[in-house]
């Protein structure tokens, strides 16, 4: 596979030079590649921290003999690699966070009992960099799992491994072996290692695919690992905004609690820190290139910074791209263009780029380069609406249109300062249907209001929004209007914005309540069918009185149901509904808007669960896992 | 031991306790062995079902009381399976089509077709038609009602329909005109008292007339409710005392407390508490419209005359939205908030008026 892609790249490099693979002319190239291959084939990549990075050419300061090469490589090598942080000071992560991780690692490497740590955060916020830097500074070995690619192509080797007695092992088993070995055995002492310590930790960033389908198998492996663990294990999972967050699916709360998994969540990189990093890199580069490179000015950096929404990696990448030496690249491309070669995309991009450098960055356009889709976590999206930030009169930076003529006197009480956020934009960025977003708003808006009159208006708008959404035939078009009415209504009716501090947000109860309402109704119907009553009189008359009577009921289910539904305890507060707090990183729940959809979902889920055992390998029981483990150890000894 | 409601349900037209002239009219109606489609309507607990069963017994004899509960699966043209429970004897079939929700049209067409297409075997000894009893007709969708209109005519020879509903306002005109409408009004307070006393006598209990009157008033002349209340009284305390409390259902008490909470304080925090209580009611299977109705009744009793019209108008407004909308809680809450706002303003105005 490597060979193939290498060949492709070589071929394409003949066409246009700027997509050259970065490693073609490196002195350490062959070594690095061979190392990578080795790593791939040996499943477990045991490496001295930062060794490879050092070899791969980011020597700082460059020795004179390498200087020429460095200069040559400048436009090829990605700056993300070159300027990867090497000390805590260079990390674009908050000090407290680093400290937190550091403490955890210190505590857990010094004891013989390992632990499990889960690092979460959006992509490009420095999770991996932090771990690497810390391993360097604390002088620890990192043993990292990489997913093995298939060694043997299917067609040729099938016979071979039958004759040779080789057997195919699944990724899952390999992962398990890896964990076992990494946990049990120390690293081999190599000559070149110097005085490397024995202390190490295991890093897993790359999960075997099977785990996404069956998180249960990961949990089993982890349970066993925790029982026997000697060295700490660090998982790095990126948050995703879509509904199936991998961190939630792989490490649900129960498992985290059961296995005592430490969890540290990273925030997106703060703009100031990001600016620091970007300016550092650009000044370093500018110094190195000695004027041949167009150095982006501060404003460009700022746009890059805001466009990347806290993703350092993408910010650096787009910085590199935007400061590509215009002269050589543009000339070359333009000449080719004149010759008639069509390099449509590249040319148009450079043109765009040129235009931009001339007429100083239009925000929208800059986002076309490496700009990240700025999406919001639900928590933040809700906060934007509920906290209702409005501009001051003198504040020029308002999103809404500039103030028109003042409202006539009889409408003056409707006057509001311009909004700082665009509600439709927020809803769109929240990756949720408007209807569902309104439910979240409805659950939480009361905390942010102080006047009943305002609440009255807000609730009326919510009711309007529901009305707009109610007809399923027009829901697809009306949905937007519905959410618009709900969000804007809430914003507008909150006339006396009190500066509330932090308020916990909650998940909507309605879905649960509605489900329960329906389920209980159906259960009542089926359990008390013999009374031949309409649902209405059954629910409001018969059941409550049955709860008061000593009438012997026919079966246990009926009794339980009466106990549950018929009785309403008057004294205690309604405690049936626990408010489920919404944590700041949580993606939206899977939606169940209409009843039918929900039912179908339930059905399909049931079907999947039933269907699973046949199509998927069954999670094995702990006993045969143990047996296998013993076997493996023998195997190893004989080697 | 079954409930008194079931135990002492009259089984023939002659044994009915009240509306005796109507009973004789019904008897005359089926005298000749045939009858038109019927639309029986009246408030809940008035005795519609009882009368219908008596009528069927008059027609078919005691065989109609051997009921069996069947679980039927009907496949809609869209291949969706609809499951519905029916109660049937050899001669009739009772079904509540609104159980099927939006698919009630299919239920009506398919069920009636299957019933109507099977001829009675011994038509010499029996009637040559079967009876299909549809309950809660007023909850049928418009679709289903129009389908019903056609079906009624088509299978007139083999099948009679008895429709049972609480009001005719939601039944479309064509159906009303095809049926003989029979209204079953609520029994008067005295009639309820009489029924209660006679049943207590049969149980060997002594019911003080004051308590009987109290129960019948509290029950709103709903006989089923009255009997259930009476039985609950018996559980609560026997021998009866004339002034004992008549037990109310938990949800009614809960709803009243909710209304009191609304009246006693008007603030967003209170609304949050009220919302939790509404959710609690909903999880206990109380339909949203009943909650709305109960809430309005309780709130109105706390209002001044001036406010009453306004509150009632708002209630109507939000009740309408409740029917149109999707998520009941929005509208229930909006109503509560509205009431809070109006009530607060009213109280503040009142205070101001007192001051000056």
Q: Got the DSSP string for A364-378?
A: HHHHHTT-------H
Q: Looking at residue A353, what is its pLDDT?
A: 43
Specify the range with the lowest mean pLDDT, choosing from A501-505, A605-609, B90-94, B131-135. Answer: A605-609
Tell me how far apart the alpha carbons of residues B347 and B339 are, in angstroms, rounded to a whole number: 12
CB B54 within 8 A of CB B12: yes
Chain A positions in Cβ-Cβ contact with residue B7 (cut-off 8 Å) = none
Q: Does residue A327 surpass a pLDDT of 60?
A: no
CA nearest neighbour of A329 among A306, A309, A346: A346
Contact A469 B326 (CB under 8 A): yes
Alpha-carbon distance of A178 to A617, in angstroms, equals 20
**DSSP assignment of B261-301:** HHHH--SHHHHHHHHHHHHHHHHTT--HHHHHHHHHHHHHH
Out of A447, A566, A577, name the one closest to residue B279 (CB). Answer: A577
In the prediction, which pLDDT does B341 show? Answer: 92
**Cβ–Cβ of B232/A449 closer than 8 Å?**
no
Q: How confident is the model at residue A2 (pLDDT cuts 50, 70, 90)?
A: very low
For A34-71, give the DSSP string.
HHHHHHHHTSEEEE-TTHHHHHTT--SSPPHHHHHHHH
Give the pLDDT score at A403.
54
pLDDT at A339: 43
- Residue numbers in A near B336 (CB within 8 A): 459
- Residue of higher predicted confidence among B224 and A35: B224
Contact A455 B341 (CB under 8 A): yes
Are B108 and B147 in contact, with CB atoms under 8 Å apart?
A: yes
Asked if residue A615 has pLDDT above 50, the reply is no
Provide, as residue numbers in chain B, all residues whose Cβ is less than 8 Å from the Cβ of A509.
279
- Residues of B within 8 A of A435 (CB-CB) are 326
| Comparison of pLDDT for A555 and A349, the residue scoring more | A555
The nearest CA of chain B is from the CA of A255 a distance in Å of: 30
Residues A202-250 have pLDDT tens digits of: 888 888 777 877 888 888 888 888 887 778 888 888 876 555 566 677 7
Q: Collect all residues with Cβ–Cβ distance below 8 Å to A367 and sequence separation of at least 6.
A: A307
> In Å, how far is A500's CA from the nearest CA of chain B?
14
Instruction: Give the separation between CA A525 and CA A548, rounded to whole angstroms.
Output: 19
Cα(A101)–Cα(A111) distance, rounded to whole angstroms?
16
Closest-approach residue (CA) in chain A for B333: A459
Q: What is the pLDDT of residue B162?
A: 92
Look at B324 and A532 and tell me if their CB atoms are within 8 Å: no
**Hey, are the CB atoms on A545 and B231 less than 8 Å from each other?**
yes
Report CB contact under 8 Å: A541, B45: yes
The tens digit of pLDDT for each residue in A62-95 reads 444 444 444 455 556 777 787 888 788 788 888 8
Q: Compare all CA atoms of chain A with the CA of B332 and give the residue at the minimum distance.
A: A463
DSSP state letter for A407 = P
Kindly state the average pLDDT of the residues A351-372.
Answer: 42
291-350 in chain B: CB under 8 A from chain A: 318, 321, 324-327, 329-331, 333-334, 336-338, 340-341, 344-345
Q: Which of A193-197, A580-584, B109-113 has the lowest mean pLDDT?
A: A193-197
Average pLDDT over residues A511-517: 86
Interchain contact B280–A (C-beta under 8 A): yes
pLDDT at position B311, please? Answer: 92
- The length of chain B, given as a count of residues: 356
Q: In this complex, do B329 and A510 lie within 8 Å of one another by their Cβ atoms?
A: yes
Q: Tens of pLDDT along A391-403?
A: 664 444 444 445 5
Task: Tell how many helices (H) and how many strands (E) occur in chain B.
Answer: 14, 7
What pLDDT shows up at residue A364?
39
Q: Which residue of A has its CA nearest to B287?
A: A536
Query: 3-class DSSP state for residue A120?
Result: strand
Window from A144-158, A505-519, B32-46 with minimum mean pLDDT: A144-158
Q: What is the largest CA-CA distance in chain A?
A: 98
Q: Does residue B272 sit at the A interface (CB-CB below 8 Å)?
A: yes
Phi, psi (5° rounding) for residue B188?
A: -75, 170
Ranges of each domain in chain A: 1-80, 85-150+166-267, 271-368, 378-401+413-509, 599-639
Contact B286 A542 (CB under 8 A): no
So what's the pLDDT on residue B330? 92
% of chain A at pLDDT higher than 70: 56
How do residues A95-131 score in pLDDT, each as one tens digit?
888 888 888 888 887 777 778 888 888 888 888 888 8
Computed over every residue of chain A, the mean pLDDT equals 66
Identify the DSSP state of A539: I
CATH topology (fold) of A85-150+166-267: Rossmann fold (3.40.50)
For residue A5, pLDDT beyond 50: no
pLDDT in the model for residue A634: 39
Start-to-end C-alpha separation, chain A: 30
pLDDT of residue A578: 56
More confident residue, A607 or A449: A449
A465 has a pLDDT exceeding 70: yes
Cβ(A386)–Cβ(A444) below 8 Å: yes
- For residue A567, the chain B residues in CB contact (below 8 A) are 250
Q: Which residue has the higher pLDDT, A474 or A574?
A: A474
pLDDT computed for residue B249 by the predictor: 84
Q: What are all long-range contacts of A15-19, with beta carbons under 8 Å and residues at least 24 apart?
A: A16/A336, A16/A343, A16/A346, A17/A332, A18/A75, A18/A329, A18/A346
> In this predicted structure, what is the pLDDT of residue A638?
40
Greater pLDDT, B80 or A334: B80
Gap between the Cα atoms of A226 and A115, Å rounded? 7
Check pLDDT > 60 for residue A33: no
pLDDT confidence band for A256 (50 / 70 / 90): confident
Q: What stretches in chain B show pLDDT beneath 50?
A: none
Distance from CA of A610 to the nearest CA of B (A): 20
Q: Do B337 and A449 touch (CB under 8 A)?
A: no
How many CB pairs below 8 A link A and B? 187
Of A451, A459, A566, the CB nearest to B334: A459
- For A199, which DSSP code? -
- The predicted pLDDT at position B340 comes to 92
Confidence of residue A473 (pLDDT cuts 50, 70, 90): confident
**Å from A597 to nearest chain B CA?**
13
Residue A363 has pLDDT above 90, yes or no: no
> Which tokens go with A589?
């729940």
Token duo for residue A408 = 């006539």
B256 shares contact with chain A (CB less than 8 Å): no
| Nearest residue on chain B to A571, alpha-carbon basis | B254
Bin B79: left if φ > 0, else alpha if -120 < ψ < 50, else beta: left
Higher pLDDT, A166 or A214: A214
Cis peptide before B308 (omega within 30 of 0): no
Give the minimum alpha-carbon distance from B124 to chain A in angstroms, rounded to a whole number. Answer: 31
Mean pLDDT of A270-296: 77
Minimum CA–CA partner of A570 in chain B: B254
């Amino acid at each position: 596979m490597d060979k193939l892609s290498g060949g492709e790249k070589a071929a394409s490099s003949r066409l246009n030079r700027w997509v050259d693979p970065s490693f073609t002319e490196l002195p350490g190239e062959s070594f690095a590649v061979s190392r990578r291959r080795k790593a791939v084939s040996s499943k477990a990549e045991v490496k001295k921290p930062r060794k490879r990075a050092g070899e791969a050419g980011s020597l700082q300061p460059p020795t004179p003999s390498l200087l020429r090469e460095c200069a040559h490589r400048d436009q090829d090598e990605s700056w993300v690699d070159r300027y990867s942080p090497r000390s805590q000071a260079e990390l674009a992560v908050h000090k407290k966070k680093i400290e937190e991780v550091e403490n955890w690692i210190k505590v857990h490497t010094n004891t013989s009992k390992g632990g499990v740590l889960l690092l979460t955060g959006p992509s490009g916020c420095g999770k991996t960099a932090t771990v690497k830097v810390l391993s360097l500074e604390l002088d620890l070995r990192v043993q990292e799992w990489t997913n093995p690619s298939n060694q043997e192509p299917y067609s040729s080797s099938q016979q071979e491994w039958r004759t040779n007695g080789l057997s195919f092992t699944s990724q899952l088993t390999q992962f398990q072996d890896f964990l076992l070995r990494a946990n049990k055995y120390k690293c081999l002492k190599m000559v070149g290692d110097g005085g490397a310590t024995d202390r190490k930790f295991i890093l897993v960033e790359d999960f075997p695919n099977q785990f996404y389908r069956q998180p249960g198998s990961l949990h089993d492996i982890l349970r066993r690992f925790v029982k026997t663990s000697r060295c700490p294990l660090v998982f790095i999972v990126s948050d995703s905004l879509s509904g199936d967050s991998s961190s939630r699916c792989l490490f649900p709360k129960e498992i985290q609690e059961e296995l005592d998994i430490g969890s540290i969540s990273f925030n997106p990189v703060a703009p100031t820190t990001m600016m620091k990093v970007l300016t550092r890199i650009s000044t370093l580069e500018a110094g190195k290139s000695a004027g041949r490179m167009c150095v982006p000015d501060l404003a460009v950096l700022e746009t890059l910074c805001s466009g990347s929404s806290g993703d350092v990696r993408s910010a650096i990448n787009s910085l590199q791209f935007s400061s590509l030496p215009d002269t050589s690249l543009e000339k070359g491309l333009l000449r080719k263009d004149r010759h008639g070669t069509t390099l449509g995309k590249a040319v148009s991009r450079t043109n765009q780029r040129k235009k931009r450098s001339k007429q100083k960055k239009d925000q929208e356009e800059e986002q076309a380069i490496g700009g990240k889709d700025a999406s919001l976590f639900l928590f933040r999206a809700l906060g934007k609406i509920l906290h209702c930030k409005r501009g001051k009169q003198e504040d020029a930076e308002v999103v809404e249109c500039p103030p028109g003529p003042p409202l006539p006197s009889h409408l003056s009480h409707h006057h509001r300062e311009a909004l700082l956020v665009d509600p439709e934009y927020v809803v769109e960025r929240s990756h949720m249907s408007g209807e569902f977003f309104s439910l979240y708003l409805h659950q939480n808006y009361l905390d942010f209001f102080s006047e009943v009159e305002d609440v009255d208006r807000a609730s009326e708008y919510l009711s309007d929004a529901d009305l707009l959404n109610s007809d399923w035939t027009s829901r697809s078009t009306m949905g937007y209007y519905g959410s618009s009415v709900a969000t804007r209504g809430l914003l507008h009716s909150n006339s006396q914005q009190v500066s509330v501090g932090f308020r916990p947000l909650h998940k909507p109860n309605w879905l649960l309540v509605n489900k329960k309402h329906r389920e209980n109704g159906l259960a009542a119907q089926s359990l008390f069918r013999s009374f031949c009553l309409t649902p209405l009189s059954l629910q409001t008359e018969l059941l409550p009185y049955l709860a008061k009577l000593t009438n012997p009921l026919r079966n246990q289910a009926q009794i339980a149901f009466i106990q549950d539904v018929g009785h309403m305890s008057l004294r205690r507060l309604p405690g049936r509904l626990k408010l489920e707090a919404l944590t700041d990183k949580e993606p939206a729940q899977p939606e169940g808007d209409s009843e039918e959809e929900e039912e179908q979902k339930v059905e399909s889920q049931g079907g999947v669960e039933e269907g699973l055992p046949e199509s998927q390998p069954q999670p094995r029981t702990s006993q045969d896992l143990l047996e296998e483990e013993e076997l493996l150890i023998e195997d190893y000894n004989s080697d | 031991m079954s409930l008194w409601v079931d135990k002492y349900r009259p089984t023939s037209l002659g044994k009915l306790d009240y509306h005796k002239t109507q009973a004789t009219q019904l008897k005359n109606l089926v005298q000749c062995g045939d009858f038109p489609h019927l639309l029986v309507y009246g408030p809940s607990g008035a005795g519609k079902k009882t009368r219908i069963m008596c009528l069927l017994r008059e027609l078919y004899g005691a065989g109609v009381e051997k009921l069996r509960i069947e679980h039927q699966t009907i496949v809609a043209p869209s291949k969706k399976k609809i499951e519905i429970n029916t109660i049937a004897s050899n001669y009739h079939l009772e079904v509540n089509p609104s159980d099927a929700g939006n698919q009630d049209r299919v239920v009506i067409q398919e069920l009636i077709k299957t019933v109507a297409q099977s001829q009675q075997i011994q038509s010499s000894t029996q009637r040559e038609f079967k009876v299909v009893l549809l309950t809660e007709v007023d909850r049928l969708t418009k679709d289903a009602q129009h389908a019903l209109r056609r079906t009624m005519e088509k299978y007139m020879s083999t099948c009679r329909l008895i429709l049972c509903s609480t009001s005719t306002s939601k039944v479309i005109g064509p159906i009303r005109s095809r049926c003989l409408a029979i209204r079953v009004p609520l029994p008067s307070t005295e009639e309820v008292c009489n029924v209660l006393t006679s049943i207590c006598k049969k149980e060997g209990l002594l019911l003080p007339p004051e308590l009987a009157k109290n129960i019948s008033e509290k029950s709103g002349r709903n006989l089923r409710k009255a009997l259930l209340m009476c039985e609950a009284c018996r559980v609560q305390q026997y021998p009866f005392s004339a002034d004992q409390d008549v037990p109310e259902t938990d949800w009614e008490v809960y709803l009243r407390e909710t209304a009191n909470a609304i009246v006693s304080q008007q603030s967003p925090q209170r609304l949050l508490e009220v919302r939790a209580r509404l959710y609690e009611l909903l999880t206990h299977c109380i339909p949203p419209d009943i909650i709305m109705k109960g809430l309005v009744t309780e709130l109105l009793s706390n209002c001044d005359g001036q406010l009453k019209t306004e509150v009632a108008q708002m209630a109507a407004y939000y009740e309408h939205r409740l029917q149109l909308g999707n998520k009941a809680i929005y509208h229930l809450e909006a109503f509560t908030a509205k009431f809070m706002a109006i009530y607060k303003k009213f109280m503040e105005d009142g205070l101001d008026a007192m001051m000056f």
